[in-house]
Amino acid sequence: MSIEQLDRARAALARGDAESARCEAQFACEEAPDSAEAWFLLGAAHHGAGDLGAALSAFEDAERLVPGTGAIANARASVLSELGRVAEARSVLETALARGCDQDARLYLNLAIALEALDALPEAESRYREAIERAGASRGPASAPALQNLGALLMRCGRHADALVVHEALVAIAPDLADAHFNVAENLLAVGRPEDALAAAERALRLDPRHVFAHVDRAFALALVDRLPAAQAALEYARAIDPARFSSYRNGFDPLGTGSLEGLDARMLFVHWHTSRLAECDWARYDAFVATLRGLLEDSSGWPVPFAGPSLPFAVFGLPISPELQTRLARDTAVQRQGQATPRRAAMLRRRSRSTRLRIGYVSPDFHAHPLSYLTRNLFREHDRARFEIVAYSLFAGEDDEFTHAIEAGCDAFQRVAAESTERVVERIANDGIDVLVDLAGYTANTRFGIYDARPAPVQVTWLGFAGTTGSAAIDYALVDHVAVPPENETFWSEQLAFLPDSYFCSSPVAVGPTPPRSQLGLPDDAFVFCCFNNAWKIEPVVFARWLRILHAVPASVLWLLGLSNAQVNNLRAAAAAAGVDPDRLIFAPVLPYERHLARVGAADLFLDTFLFNAHTTAVDSLSGGVPVLTCTGATTPARVATSLLHAIGLPELITTDHDSYEATAIGLARDHASIVALRAKLANARKTAPFFQPKDHARNLERAYERMWHRHASGLPPVSFDVRGGRGGASAGDAEN
């Protein structure tokens, strides 16, 4: 073996010529089989050529000749990781460190990477920090890879503030590295500093004008500071530079729920980011956001398409957006969806012959521990099996739980179709001969509206899961009630309306344990306890300001809320302090399994409803637990559901129509113990007879609605609005009203 052969092998590797390097290194190994360096170079050449098996074998030969070498251990581990044998890679690296290679920073770095791949995140963080320490601050860029990876790990763990310290340290030692500035931009977006993120992205682009991901982050930052046309231009420019790399971009923003930027425009980024801040009760930009959002919904001039998207109609329920704009958004979303895909019409598929029983299909992604199932789990079993056959189609991809099993037990068939294509689900529903198909999700998470667009059933209905119109011509009816949808609001629905008696909501009462003592719940025994267990994104600044005024007026009181995140808790406490209310009077309850939550509800005295998006399932929970609910009737259906429930249960004294009377009623009840006792007694009696606490009664009302819808269809008549207990809508002797 000659030194020249090894030099030629190294040179070939340096210029990327793996085949030449393999030839030279192979000759060297044949001439000097005891040369660890020759075997190492041969392994590197095989690796460069993509022959991972041969590379691993060569590196193992090198390791046998000179065990305990850091460079060889790193090379072996790299190949093992690429082969998917990450646990073995970890073992190789740990062995090398145990043999005394602990000054090799790359060993710590590669070990950290392996640990992170194995989801051993705390250990990975420790090893990244050791790699940084071994590289030494004085060596500058030598520690850059470990800093970069550590920052990404901390971001993955949601420790954005810690990550920012690391990313800024990376910029300090590698100021000419575009990726370093890009990482800072990513991090600043995550901590809610879009102006600073914009500056960081632009620094990255000055260093590398073709950095696709930096262009995307610049687009994000521009959108978040309301520079929407510029943000859209930045997105399009990023896509033009490198379409494949653009499509591979991933970060915490996924407003379309697809894991991809394809089809995304800057308006969606704008709404997604702001609503994510509102979910943490961060209202710093609230007024400006709402004003811009209204403008986007009112006027799409300058944009290629109207502002729409599958997540938007639900997102605006908790915002001060008029019924007219909510309806326009739903209609535009339906049109946009139908324009993006044209599913095969199920009317052309084979259908079964009619039977004596009407087949009802319920479709939902929420047949598991979810508010929809909390309400309906006892409903399906109450359908009259002499007249109806019940089939559930579950779009939920997760594990079954007690709610899944309860619903399955109440159906004639329960079909798990989450893994199937939309076209296959459409075929299944059509071939099952479903007569009335009921959508239980609307525009909520994991819905598949393409199913209804394909018309697998002759009558299609939406109910319960989405408190508004779908805007879709594919949905014939919506099941509502006259309180949730008063006459002046009927025009805001694209569907014909089937008005259920009492409330369109239902309940599935369950036996729960005794209410724990207040001391076990972190509540004072001698205080008046106001509560609201709504999700934090339903809490908006106007209602929270009223709550604080109520606390001011009732000094011996506390407000019991659901604490979903540290940011939410901190923001609400800060808002209370700014208003002169002791933050300790806000008491935050942890999330508990449903039955345990129901048991603790009774420890409260009065539930304070939110204004724009009422308590829905949480109002049912509160009433079930014997706690009166105080609401303020709003303009939209989401703002009228609690009013519907209170009207149905016979507690009109808890329905207010303006914010001042809401506040005055809350204060008056808190100051009059006897009135609360009387309300709780009235509620306890009403729960025994209220229709929405009786699943069997609700099932009968639904059946009347389904039979009437089917009768019109079978008679060749178009859908028309009607009252389930008779009245308008062309009822005839053939309409089943029994």
The half-sphere exposure of 702 on its side-chain side, counting CA atoms within 13 A, is 32
Question: What's residue 137's pLDDT?
Answer: 47
Measured distance CA(152)–CA(375) in Å, rounded = 41
Identify any residues that bridge with 722 across adjacent strands, giving them in sequence order.
498
pLDDT at 251 over 70: no
Burial of 287 (0-12, 13-18, 19+ CB in 10 A): exposed
Q: Which two tokens stand for residue 158?
A: 């949601």
Cβ–Cβ < 8 Å for 617, 595: no
CA 502 to mean position of chain CA atoms: 32
**Which pLDDT belongs to residue 340?**
57
- What's the whole-number mean pLDDT along residues 142-150? 90
Please, which pLDDT band fits residue 252 given cuts at 50, 70 and 90? low
Query: How do 606-608 and 436-439 pair as beta strands?
Result: unpaired
pLDDT, tens digit (0-9, with 9 covering 90-100), for 386-405: 999 999 999 999 999 999 99
Q: What is the pLDDT of residue 277?
A: 87
Per-residue b or e along 538-564, where b marks 16 or more CB atoms closer than 10 Å to that residue's CB? bbbeebbebbbbbbeebeebbbbbbbb
Residue 145, token pair as written in the block: 């890879």
pLDDT digits (tens, 9 = 90+) for 24-83: 889 888 888 999 999 999 999 999 999 999 999 999 999 899 987 889 999 999 999 999
pLDDT in tens, 551-578: 999 999 999 999 888 889 999 999 999 9
pLDDT (tens digit per residue) in 157-200: 889 899 999 999 999 999 999 999 999 999 998 888 999 999 99
pLDDT in tens, 280-297: 999 998 999 999 999 999
Q: What is the pLDDT of residues 444-487, one digit of tens each?
A: 999 999 999 999 999 999 999 999 999 999 999 999 999 999 99
Question: Is 274:288 a contact under the CB 8 Å cutoff?
Answer: no
d(CA 208, CA 212): 9
Cα 260 from chain centre? 15
Query: Using an 8 Å Cβ cutoff, are 455 and 437 in contact?
Result: no
d(CA 351, CA 431): 5
Candidates 119, 120, 112; CA nearest to 143 is 112
Distances (CA, A) of 415 to 158, 351, 391, 432, 706: 37, 18, 8, 11, 21
pLDDT at 734: 37
Tokens read off for 249: 């971009």
Residue 720 pLDDT more than 80? yes
Question: What is the distance between the alpha carbons of residues 430 and 346, in angstroms, rounded to a whole number?
Answer: 6
What per-residue confidence (pLDDT) applies to 704? Answer: 97
DSSP lists the bridge partners of residue 198 as none
Percent of the chain with pLDDT over 90: 76
Is residue 138 pLDDT above 50, yes or no? no
Instruction: Give the mean pLDDT of 611-637.
Output: 97
C-beta separation of 292 from 274 below 8 A: no
Contact (Cβ atoms closer than 8 angstroms) between residue 361 and residue 380: no
What value does the mean pLDDT of the chain take? 91
Q: Looking at residues 338-346, what average pLDDT do you find? A: 55
Question: What is the DSSP code (8-state) at residue 415?
Answer: E
Number of CB atoms found within 10 A of residue 534's CB = 23
* Number of other CB atoms surrounding residue 309 within 10 Å: 23
Whether the pLDDT of residue 142 is over 80: the answer is: no
| Gap between the Cα atoms of 27 and 182, Å rounded | 45
Burial code (b: 16+ CB inside 10 Å, e: under 16) for 572-600 equals: bbebbeeeebeeebbbbbeeeebeebbbb
Q: Give the Cα separation of 533 and 613 in Å (integer).
A: 13
Are the beta carbons of 659 and 630 closer than 8 angstroms? no
Q: Grade residue 665 by pLDDT with cuts at 50, 70 and 90.
A: very high
Q: Where is pLDDT greater, at 191 or 140?
A: 191
Q: What confidence category does residue 352 fall into, taking pLDDT thresholds of 50, 70 and 90?
A: very low
Q: Are residues 495 and 477 in contact, defined by beta-carbon separation less than 8 angstroms?
A: yes
Q: Which of 7-11, 393-397, 618-622, 650-654 has the lowest mean pLDDT?
A: 7-11
DSSP assignment of 450-519: HHHHT--SSEEEE-SSSSS----TT--EEEE-TTTS-GGGGGG-SSEEEE-SS-S---------PPPPGG
Q: Number of helices (H) and strands (E), helices first, in the chain?
A: 31, 14
What is the sign of the dihedral through the CA atoms of 257, 260, 265 and 269? positive
What does the alpha-carbon distance between residue 398 and residue 418 come to, in Å, rounded to a whole number? 9
36 touches 69 (CB < 8 A): yes
Whether residue 336 has pLDDT greater than 90: no
Q: What is the pLDDT of residue 731?
A: 40
The DSSP output letter for 626 is T
Residue 135's nearest CA partner among 161, 97, 108, 171 is 108
Winning range, highest mean pLDDT, from 64-68, 227-231, 334-338: 227-231
pLDDT score at 272: 86
Q: And the tokens for 637?
A: 């259906």
Counting every residue written for the chain, the total comes to 738
Helix axes 323-340, 286-298, angle to 10 degrees: 60
Residue 1 pLDDT exceeds 60? no
Taking only the tens place, the pLDDT of each residue in 505-553 is: 999 988 888 999 999 999 999 999 999 999 999 999 999 999 999 999 9
- CA R_g for the chain: 31
Evaluated on CA atoms 160, 165, 166, 169, the torsion sign reads positive
- Among residues of the chain, what percentage have pLDDT more than 70? 93
Q: In what order do the strands lie in the sheet with 496-499?
A: 413-416, 388-394, 358-364, 436-439, 459-462, 477-480, 496-499, 722-723
Q: Give mean pLDDT, residues 153-160.
A: 89
For residue 728, what pLDDT is reported? 59
Residues 404, 367 contacting (CB under 8 angstroms): yes
Q: How far is CA 159 from CA 127, 151, 155, 164, 467, in A?
A: 17, 9, 6, 9, 36
Tokens coding 714: 């079978």
Tens-place pLDDT, residues 233-244: 999 999 999 988
592, two tokens: 């508990």
Give Cα separations from 316 to 5, 309, 323, 537, 708 (angstroms).
70, 11, 10, 11, 33
- Taking only the tens place, the pLDDT of each residue in 631-650 is 999 999 999 999 999 999 99
Give mean pLDDT, residues 328-352: 68
Look up residue 640 and give its amino acid. Answer: R
pLDDT (mean) for 142-154: 91
Query: Do residues 514 and 599 lie in contact, with contact meaning Cβ atoms separated by under 8 Å?
Result: yes
